[in-house]
Amino acid sequence: MQEDYPSREEERGLISKFEELLKNKGFHFFDIEEYETIIHYYLERLQFGKGLKAGRMALQQYPFSLEISILISQCLVGKEKYDEALKVIEEAENLHPNDPELLTVKGNIYSILGEFEKAVEILLSTLDGAEDKAEVYYNIGLTYQTNGKYEVAIDFYKQAIETDINHESALYELAYCLDVTGKLEDSVAYYKEFIDRDPYSAYAWYNLGIVYNKLEKFEEAVKAYDFALVIDDTFASAWFNLGNSYMNLERYQDALEAYKNTLSNEGPSSEVYCCIGAAYEKMEQYEYGIKYYRKASKIDQFYEDAWYGIGCCLSAQEKYFEAIHFLNKALKLDPENANYWMAVATAEYNIGNVVSAIEAYQEAAILEPVNNEIWLDWSFIHYEQGEMKKAISLIDRALEEVPDDAELLYRMVVYQITAGHYREAFTYLENALILDFEKHEVLFEFFPKLETQKALFKIIDQYRSKN
């Protein structure tokens, strides 16, 4: 496998040459590292067909390459051609018998096929010859997890971590399985054992921070990451996760400093630039936000969050026409993101494109029907236009998806009262007050008239003593 990954500019040049070759059906000699770069590029973008073409061309020139065979099998797995993927691995095994990497890929394919016992058997057979035993334990854990055997998966993830405390994937999946089995809180003691063994292990503190973050104990997570950074102030991942914890605590200036320290220690990346942009956006420093989102897009033009961030900052500045351009770029890259559709809907509505706004909300609701914000905003368009029947109908649909949502019930109260349906309104109001009494204040925003407020207050006051 290649050690020195090419720059993004070199990568783009390689891809251009390769795609020109495909277009003209010509010939160009690539060395094996270049082929690996090309195939990795297509795998990362889920373009398995092109990756497969590159792999087959590479195998003609380098028929004994273990890495190329593995990459071809990954492309075939992506295309769900599992039998062909196994055939490629078995042919490679003839040239590289008992190779642990080939056996690992083979085991993972059997796991995908649901042949879990066979997958585990193959993976276990690689342990003696494997250079990276932690990776083997991790893959066995994944196999059991896929089979729904979370307790067994937990044991293997722990073995992976005990073999290599820096195995971030094992740590992440372990936290997931502990969460599923309701044992995440109890696992804090497990992680503290590593710290007791070696209190100066930056990775032990870092891992504890990950668990606290997963438990949404962000203050404790901050302390754990701080300890990791006292031990090693060049620990880029700890700086990055510290930034995320500060964002969750709404300490945006602190988050900004943590993200900038990530850059200092790791170098530029589209993800970190986007996080810096988000911190500036939260602080309402939109020009700086746009600046860093643009930096992210220059590193990776396919990083949709960068375009979305620019669009959101422009919307916040009421530059809706410009915002729509960037939000649509994000949507083109990820058309199944409900947040993107909602942002487009808001911008379209603010420039008077009501039909486009409604269409965007429809798309968002299909993708994420349990998101109450979509229904509230969508129905509000009809409310503002005096179309109470349509507004009520939308909230009815929303309540079918999330029947116990107090915000939806209070909004239904607003629409029913506005439509003159007082009996229905009071039924919804009673249910809303039972669910979440405190949220009733939202009603007064819609009814500034004192007479209406007094009538509502009488009903609400009956429930005040009960709550």
Q: Answer yes or no: is pLDDT of 464 > 80.
A: no
Count how many Cα atoms sit within 13 Å of the Cα of residue 341 in the half-sphere of its side chain.
23
CA distance 138 to 38: 27
- At 447, is the pLDDT very low, low, confident or very high (cuts 50, 70, 90)? confident
Domain regions of the chain by residue span: 1-97, 369-467
Give the whole-angstrom CA distance, residue 329 versus residue 338: 14
Mean pLDDT for the chain?
90
Looking at the predicted structure, is the pLDDT value of residue 154 above 90? yes
- SS3 helix, strand, coil % of the chain, rounded to 5? 75, 0, 25
Please compute the mean of the pLDDT values over residues 304-325 and round it to a whole number: 97
Q: What is the DSSP letter of 439?
A: G
Report long-range pairs for 410-414 (Cβ below 8 Å, ≥24 apart): 410/439, 410/440, 410/442, 410/443, 411/376, 411/379, 411/442, 413/443, 414/383, 414/443, 414/446, 414/447
Name the token pair of 162.
């005990």
- The CATH topology of domain 1-97 is 1.25.40
* pLDDT score, position 246: 98
Q: What is the pLDDT of residues 376-397, one digit of tens each?
A: 999 999 999 999 999 999 999 9
The domain defined by 369-467 carries CATH number 3.40.50.2300? no
Which of 69-73, 161-165, 171-175, 259-263 has the highest mean predicted lDDT (pLDDT)?
259-263
Question: 236: buried, middle or exposed (CB in 10 Å: 19+, 13-18, 0-12)?
Answer: middle
Predicted confidence (pLDDT) at residue 465 exceeds the cutoff of 60: no
Residue at token pair 């919804």: 428
pLDDT digits (tens, 9 = 90+) for 75-104: 999 999 999 999 999 899 888 888 888 888
Domains 1-97 and 369-467 share a fold: yes
Q: Supply the pLDDT for residue 8.
A: 64
pLDDT at site 46: 87
| The two structure tokens encoding residue 66 | 């273990």
The pLDDT of residue 13:
78
Q: For the whole model, what pTM was predicted?
A: 0.73
Rg of the chain (C-alpha set): 27
Q: Could you give the dihedral angle defined by the CA atoms of residues 79, 83, 89 and 90, in that order, rounded to the nearest 10 degrees?
A: -170
